[in-house]
Amino acid sequence: MAWPRRAVDAGPIVAGPCGAWPARLAPGLEESRDVDLTERIDHDLAQARRDRDQVRLSALGLLKSELQREAKAPRARAVSDQLVFDVVRREIKRHQESAAAFAGAGRAESAAQERAAAELLGAYLPAELSEQELEQELRAVIAEVRPRGPRDFGAVMHAARSRLGSRAQASRIAATARRLMDDGDGD
């Protein structure tokens, strides 16, 4: 007995960062805002299988397995775009470290594959804030929190992370916040 197939009208096909996309899933389109990042990753993984693109298939397969592992962890939180961003950043860092290790060992081809995988995963991250935008946002946060000294750095970081979300890395936020607080801009 054959299972019935469901016909899904995906609409027109448009070009995306990792190949062709149904218009309802295409990044950057207004109607795609309700599609979460995990669906994009699943779609891109399936497209990589169809295209037999080993670099994309490997990078996205590893990313998906890491997301599933995170979802099943004892301290697991709901799979959200923020969790996906955190895992993507971690995977990019792993690929960059692997590329450096391969380059140091004289394996240029493997290093190039790792750099390509890191670049591919970077497409799933939101655009980072520029230094000026980050500084402007942090000045507003510092004015809001009104820290009285270095001991209030944690409160500034908490407010900044909740306000900025994944638009800047925590290390950049911390360095800029420390600099602004040391300059006396927070008083």
Give per-residue pLDDT as tens, 68-119. Answer: 998 888 887 777 888 888 899 999 999 999 999 999 999 999 999 999 999 9
Domain boundaries along the sequence of the chain = 13-122, 131-182
Candidates 69, 71, 68, 41; CA nearest to 56 is: 41
Residue 145 · residue 158 · CB < 8 Å: no
Q: Quickly tell me which residue has 């397995």 as its tokens.
A: 65
The residues facing 16 across adjacent strands are: 19
What pLDDT, on a 0 to 100 scale, did the predictor assign at position 16?
56
pLDDT tens over the chain, length 187 residues:
444 444 444 445 555 555 555 544 444 444 444 568 889 999 999 999 999 999 999 999 999 999 999 888 888 777 788 888 889 999 999 999 999 999 999 999 999 999 999 999 999 888 888 899 999 999 999 999 888 888 889 999 999 888 887 788 888 899 999 998 887 644 4
CATH topology of domain 131-182: Arc Repressor Mutant, subunit A (1.10.10)
Phi, psi of 151 (to 5 degrees): -70, -20
Domain 13-122 CATH class label = mainly alpha
Domains 13-122 and 131-182 share a fold: no
pTM of the entire structure? 0.65
